[in-house]
Structure 1
Amino acid sequence: MSTVSTSPQLIPAEREVERLLTLQPDVETVEMLLTDTNGVIRGKWAPPSTLSKVFDGGVQLPLSLFGLDVWGREVPETGLHIETGDRDGNCYGVPGSLLPVTWARRPTAQVLMTMHEPDGTPFFADPRHRLASVLERFREKNLNPVVAFELEFYLLRPGFETEAQASPLPVSHGRGGPERQRMYSIAELSSQEDFFASLREAAAAQNIPIDTIISEAGPGQFEVNLVHRADAMAAADDALLLRRMIGGVARRHGLRASFMAKPFQEWPGNGMHVHVSLTGADGLNVFGRGEEGERALRSAIAGTLATMPDCLALFINTFNGFRRLAPGSYAPTRVTWGSNNRSVAVRVPISKPEANRLEHRIAGADANPYLVLAAVLSGMLHGMEEKLDPPAAVEGNAYEGDGQGAELTDYMEEAVEAFEASSFIIHAFGARFRHLFTELKKAEQAVFDERISRLEHETYL
């Protein structure tokens, strides 16, 4: 596995702080954001007077932050907690990420952080460093991934878990009946125009390149598409911060946004689609080079398919997410690919040759975008290095037919077992990370296994 620089990228703190204070001179609080293994944003608040440390000396947070389960509880089996003294690491700001938070009620800014060992070495468990390691392997081959994310979510009415509303309700629930067709509805978008106007304003303030917005099939379900980035790390940052932004803007509008992969049994789940092309040393699309480009694209697709079962726990990292793998949820259920086909796991969209790319459609919207992208890119590189050839492309409905690719498991436990046994995961992410992620998912699975459901009480009590 390739290594990356052992020193964090430092830039003059004065330049970052000066830029922020020009944009927001009255800032009171800076939110220091660190992404944990599950893709949950953690960190701390600080006054702007401490900003110089963010880029120069570093800010201390426990390394054990990456050993927390989805509820924020310590998982001792990860080896990151009290048995090691619960050590601190140094967190440094990502250059250019110190920006205003327009939806906050008080003057607030935020900055993305990365975790390093006290000696400056990138900490192995930081998902951003895991993606950086994969991108370094591409740079060694004079290849550069060009990436865009698409994120689906539900806008919900407030009041969930109150006596008056025991279940979450989408904003469009009850309008027009359950049979109403909402897919690509302009009227549905118009019903939330104030929300989306605020979202675009917030995105502009944080340099997040929102492209198109569409209404999805579920009531109150929408998708936001991001512009393709030649900087793959920035594309993953976009996805992470867009989720946070949508949630914050929704709260300011008296709503709740959910990226839960399958919040409703009767309506489609929420996915995170990843578009990837590659440019070479000449800056041109590798996949657009005639027959040679076609072979490269086919090998990249073959690699994503060959490694998909091993990486499934990264693409679907929650117990609930496996409920999304069902026909009617608009999520792929088999290891398949095809051209211009939304029922497959890896789609080749219609495009001009210079825009040839693959679209990876497995991940849930609540997955960690850094780890999802690292897994997709590692699979692509594996296929290209081994010159793999994919099976026949699926035409028509990929949900039907036993000959249309292996079926993906819809059990979290089986996906975690495949992850834990995978030599590919060691090559792509390292043995320490494989152990860490496995133990987190085992601990989360155990909680669900031990909890008696409401349905069991309703049936047997």
Structure 2
Amino acid sequence: MISPSGSTIDEAKAFLEAHPEIEAFDIVLIDVNGIGRGKIIRRHELIGLYKGGRHLPISILGLDITGEDVHETGLIWDQGDGDLRAWPIPFTLKPLHGTNPPRGQVLMSMFHLDGAPMTSDPRLALVRQVEVLAAKGLHPAGAFELEFFLLAGERDAEGRVQPANAVLDGRSSGKTEVYSVDHLHGMEPLFSDIYAAARAQDIPAETVISEYAPGQYELTLHYRKDILQAADDLIMLKRIVRAQARRHGVTACFMAKPIEKYAGSGMHLHVSLQDDAGNNVFAEAQQGTWSPTLLHALGGLAGTMAESMLVFAPHANSWRRFVSQSYAPIAATWGVNNRSVALRVPAGDTNNRRIEHRPSGVDANPYLVATTVLAAISKGLAEQFDPGPETTGNGYEQGNTDHSMPADWRQAIEAAKASEFLKHALGEDLHRTFTAIKYAELLRVARTVSELDYHLYLHEV
């Protein structure tokens, strides 16, 4: 059958001809938690993958963070745990850097056996939102920023994670080396391999900085005209960073808040809209007057943020990141050139006007984040939402009383389950899958007796 993803056998043949050294391939399907699940196939199986897809169990999209089935998704025994068919995503077939023996990788999307989209596949939800905007003559462009920690393999004496020593010479630093170029030099061998792996996969990784915590770094990606490609970039870059860090003996950590006394890690999404002629519709027509399109988009994002926070902060640990004056937003505010707000309009050339969406942690799924952001923008434009007054100065002191945010993970789950907007944004099936998985994870956390319980109560009550 013809691939419903748009992949072609010619792409596979050309790749095999160009890379005779590659012996095997990771085939990777991204679930709602952003985890890559799939198989490793041998070289001779690649053409068959492109000819007929690959059978994978439907339950692969109904797993929690630990890989356990969540029956409430309706994707396990309700479906007899039958097979669906995963197909390669065009132009994601790439070599992996530093593997021995040499391997490649291809991202996959899930379809029914008749070729219909599987509606609990996160990437296909983003495809649908891109198509909704395209029908209106609008085309989203964007880029994600990737913040993460590099951690040592061993914990400290109290069992806490600690920043990795420099891979160049083993030097340690417990300081917040924010923007220190000399500090980056200690990780130069690792970042050189990350950049080499990114080049091999045509991922436009750009600037690296030492971020606002010991062991924390940020990598930026070049702006893409296609937001689907931007989300694919982020997925593949996370896999690269994790793999290359492991080869250098350190751990790449994508928890939102791995170290309690320091800033957490965000995954900011920069987004703009172009019309059919390629014009940026967020750009103001005359200096000093905001584009109504930009304001309505901001209004849609602010007005739906509270019920969408589970997408942007999907785990128990995600909620530890939202602390005043931590560079993580705590209210649905917007402002210009202001990092204390949730929706930042960066300074710069009018023609490059965009929104920086700042609530998401690096532990969020970029496909779900982009899907929800586009749906909110679309709603804001359709209903001409007013974003309210611009926040100036310290946004942590002002907040936004019009859009109260969930206080914690449980409230976020409840808000997401009840949200008609989120159900429309993700689609009913993915909405059910996502919220069921999050509720199952909440119950897992709630029933777990942690080390903190023993510390607080073992000898005191």
Which of the five TM-score ranges fits, normalised by the shorter chain? over 0.9
| Equivalent position of 2:398 in the other structure | 401
Q: How does 1:186-197 map to 2 (within 5 A)?
A: 186-197=181-192
Query: Aligned to 1:455, which of 446, 452, 458?
Result: 452
State the TM-score, normalizing by the size of structure 1: 0.94
* 1:412 positional shift: 0.8
| Equivalent position of 2:70 in the other structure | 75
* 1:54 positional shift: 2.0
| Equivalent position of 2:316 in the other structure | 319
1:232-258 alpha-carbon deviations (Å, 9 max, x no partner): 111000011111100001011111100
Q: Is structure 2 residue 118 aligned with structure 1 residue 130?
A: no
Q: Check conservation: 1:103, 1:248, Cα contact below 8 A.
A: no
1:23-74 alpha-carbon deviations (Å, 9 max, x no partner): x312121110000111101000110101112222110101111110011100
Counterpart-to-counterpart distance in 1, 2:176 and 2:440: 40
Which secondary structure does the structure 1 equivalent of 2:307 belong to? helix
| Equivalent position of 1:96 in the other structure | 91
Counterpart-to-counterpart distance in 1, 2:57 and 2:41: 16
Counterpart-to-counterpart distance in 2, 1:457 and 1:181: 31
| Equivalent position of 1:166 in the other structure | 159
Q: Check conservation: 1:33, 1:42, Cα contact below 8 A.
A: yes
Counterpart-to-counterpart distance in 2, 1:9 and 1:453: 44
Counterpart-to-counterpart distance in 2, 1:424 and 1:394: 25
Gaps of 5+ in 2: none
Q: How does 1:340-355 map to 2 (within 5 A)?
A: 340-355=337-352
Q: How has the CA–CA distance of structure 1 residues 20 and 307 changed in structure 2, closer, same or farther, with 3 Å as cutoff?
A: farther
Counterpart-to-counterpart distance in 2, 1:369 and 1:157: 26
| Equivalent position of 2:22 in the other structure | 27
Amino acid at match of 1:361: R
1:414-452 alpha-carbon deviations (Å, 9 max, x no partner): 001111111111221222222111111110000111111
Counterpart-to-counterpart distance in 2, 1:7 and 1:197: 36
Number of residue-to-residue matches in the alignment: 452
Q: Check conservation: 2:303, 2:403, Cα contact below 8 A.
A: no
Query: Aligned to 2:39, which of 39, 44, 61?
Result: 44
* 1:102 positional shift: 0.6
Q: How has the CA–CA distance of structure 1 residues 11 and 404 changed in structure 2, closer, same or farther, with 3 Å as cutoff?
A: closer
Q: Is structure 2 residue 355 aligned with structure 1 residue 358?
A: yes
Counterpart-to-counterpart distance in 1, 2:366 and 2:16: 26
| Equivalent position of 1:307 in the other structure | 304
Gaps of 5+ in 1: 1-5
Q: How does 1:143-292 map to 2 (within 5 A)?
A: 143-160=138-155, 166-171=159-164, 180-290=175-285
* 1:7 positional shift: 6.6
Q: How has the CA–CA distance of structure 1 residues 89 and 176 changed in structure 2, closer, same or farther, with 3 Å as cutoff?
A: closer
| Equivalent position of 2:431 in the other structure | 434
Q: Check conservation: 1:319, 1:445, Cα contact below 8 A.
A: yes
* 1:9 positional shift: 3.4
* 1:181 positional shift: 4.3
| Equivalent position of 1:12 in the other structure | 8
State the TM-score, normalizing by the size of structure 2: 0.94
| Equivalent position of 1:422 in the other structure | 419
* 1:388 positional shift: 1.2
1:125-155 alpha-carbon deviations (Å, 9 max, x no partner): 0001000000001110111111100010001
Q: How has the CA–CA distance of structure 1 residues 233 and 83 changed in structure 2, closer, same or farther, with 3 Å as cutoff?
A: same
* 1:175 positional shift: 7.3
Amino acid at match of 2:15: R
* 1:404 positional shift: 6.2
* 1:10 positional shift: 3.9
Q: How has the CA–CA distance of structure 1 residues 165 and 28 changed in structure 2, closer, same or farther, with 3 Å as cutoff?
A: farther
Q: Check conservation: 1:69, 1:443, Cα contact below 8 A.
A: yes
| Equivalent position of 1:391 in the other structure | 388
| Equivalent position of 1:3 in the other structure | none
Which secondary structure does the structure 2 equivalent of 1:213 belong to? strand
| Equivalent position of 1:369 in the other structure | 366
Query: Aligned to 1:338, which of 335, 338, 342?
Result: 335
* 1:330 positional shift: 1.7
Q: Check conservation: 1:104, 1:248, Cα contact below 8 A.
A: no
* 1:12 positional shift: 3.4
Q: How has the CA–CA distance of structure 1 residues 359 and 368 changed in structure 2, closer, same or farther, with 3 Å as cutoff?
A: same
CA RMSD of aligned residues (A): 2.0
Q: Check conservation: 2:300, 2:379, Cα contact below 8 A.
A: yes
Q: Check conservation: 1:336, 1:405, Cα contact below 8 A.
A: no
Q: Check conservation: 1:10, 1:56, Cα contact below 8 A.
A: no
Q: Check conservation: 1:14, 1:52, Cα contact below 8 A.
A: no
Counterpart-to-counterpart distance in 2, 1:399 and 1:67: 37
Which secondary structure does the structure 1 equivalent of 2:224 belong to? coil
Query: Aligned to 2:52, which of 57, 65, 84?
Result: 57
Counterpart-to-counterpart distance in 2, 1:76 and 1:49: 36
* 1:106 positional shift: 2.0
Q: Check conservation: 1:336, 1:404, Cα contact below 8 A.
A: no
Q: How has the CA–CA distance of structure 1 residues 176 and 202 changed in structure 2, closer, same or farther, with 3 Å as cutoff?
A: closer
Counterpart-to-counterpart distance in 1, 2:282 and 2:432: 35
